[in-house]
Amino acid sequence: MKESRTHGVRLLWIGLSLMVIATAIAIPVFIVGQEAQIAQFDSGESMVPLSSLAQGVPVEEVEIREYQGHPLGSVDDFRENSIKGVQYIDAATYSLVLDGLVEQPTSWRYQELLEMDHLAKLVTIHCVEGWSVKALWEGIPLASLFAQAVPLAAANTVIFHAADGYTTSLPLDYILERNLIIADRINGIVLPPKNGFPFELVAEDKWGYKWIKWIVRIELSDDPTYRGFWEARGFSNDGNIDGPKFGD
């Protein structure tokens, strides 16, 4: 009888020990899962900041869906309609070239571009296919890039070249008057590859085919009649959203 009671006590002790171990393991896991709400947890010896647990681990960016009371679309709302599929560009080897009718042809590495002054704009893109997306775009004003290369007096047109061979153009005056940007962020996150990483032109009040993605070269020209990929196939060269989609 005594041996039976002793055996029962041992089983109870083992069971309690296992519960303590399970609790010690479960509490940190549970609290780490609530990281947004809890700043620290009790390790048993001292209060440990959760930030110290994540040192060296990249923080995942979260797309914002509202800006100053304006609902925003999502990067997932854009339809993939590029001419050769999504382009995946290596930021480590990327270079943006600005040449053509400029005094000083110039190129910048991706990190150099990130360090330039950025401007945020709330702009809606309208595609000729019938869909639209409002987004918060952050990027570099083209005027600041032109200032470094110094356009020649004869320059009146800006031709944009993409990594997949796609091209389009806009009048130089329009770009300067509207202070257009090339965006590297959308809705608070780095531009995803499918949305044009590293840079997409935010062509305000122009149809979506003017919003060129994966920009690798910006060329200043004196040819206002230049027609890009879709323009050469019949779409309007002006590309105004309040104008005709085809012809000029």
Per residue of the chain (248 residues), give pLDDT as tens: 444 444 444 444 444 444 433 433 333 333 233 222 323 323 233 333 333 334 444 556 899 999 999 999 999 999 999 999 999 999 999 999 999 999 999 999 999 999 999 999 999 999 999 999 999 999 999 999 999 999 999 999 999 999 999 999 999 999 999 999 999 999 999 999 999 999 999 999 999 999 999 999 999 999 999 999 999 999 999 999 999 899 87
Q: Specify if 75 maps to a domain.
A: yes
Q: How high is the pLDDT of residue 183? A: 98
Cα–Cα dist 75/216, whole Å: 21
Query: Which of 10, 30, 54 is where one domain is finished?
Result: 54
Claim to verify: residue 97 and residue 178 sit in the same structural domain? yes
Cα–Cα dist 215/167, whole Å: 9
Q: How high is the pLDDT of residue 247? A: 83
Q: Smallest Cα–Cα separation from 211: which of 234, 241, 233?
A: 241
Claim to verify: residue 197 and residue 83 sit in the same structural domain? yes
Domain, as residue range, for 16? 2-54
Q: Specify if 61 maps to a domain.
A: no
Cα–Cα dist 229/248, whole Å: 15
Q: What CATH number corresponds to the domain at position 133?
A: 3.90.420.10
Claim to verify: residue 20 and residue 93 sit in the same structural domain? no
Task: Provide the number of structural domains found in the chain.
Answer: 2
Claim to verify: residue 144 and residue 223 sit in the same structural domain? yes
Q: Specify if 238 maps to a domain.
A: no
State yes or no: cis peptide before 198, omega within 30 of 0: yes
Claim to verify: residue 43 and residue 71 sit in the same structural domain? no
Three-class secondary structure of residue 125 per DSSP: strand
Q: Specify if 243 maps to a domain.
A: no
Q: Which residues, 6 or more positions from 210, have their beta carbon under 8 angstroms from its beta carbon?
A: 168, 170, 201, 203, 239
Predicted structure pTM score:
0.76
**Parallel, antiparallel, or unpaired: how do β-strands 95-100 and 215-221 relate?**
parallel
Q: Specify if 32 maps to a domain.
A: yes
Claim to verify: residue 144 and residue 73 sit in the same structural domain? yes
Q: Smallest Cα–Cα separation from 214: which of 228, 227, 232, 201?
A: 201
For the chain, the maximum distance between any two Cα atoms, rounded to a whole number of angstroms, is: 107
Burial class (CB in 10 A: 0-12, 13-18, 19+), 128: middle
Q: Which residues pair with 100 in a beta bridge?
A: 220
Cα–Cα dist 236/228, whole Å: 10
Claim to verify: residue 128 and residue 41 sit in the same structural domain? no
Claim to verify: residue 24 and residue 80 sit in the same structural domain? no
Claim to verify: residue 96 and residue 24 sit in the same structural domain? no
Q: Specify if 85 maps to a domain.
A: yes
Claim to verify: residue 97 and residue 211 sit in the same structural domain? yes
Q: How high is the pLDDT of residue 23? A: 38
Q: How high is the pLDDT of residue 49? A: 39
Q: Specify if 240 maps to a domain.
A: no
Q: How high is the pLDDT of residue 87? A: 98
Claim to verify: residue 6 and residue 95 sit in the same structural domain? no
Claim to verify: residue 145 and residue 115 sit in the same structural domain? yes
Q: Specify if 24 maps to a domain.
A: yes
Q: Where are any strands of DSSP class E within the chain?
A: 40-42, 47-49, 66-67, 70-71, 95-100, 106-109, 119-126, 132-141, 157-162, 167-171, 181-186, 189-190, 200-202, 215-221
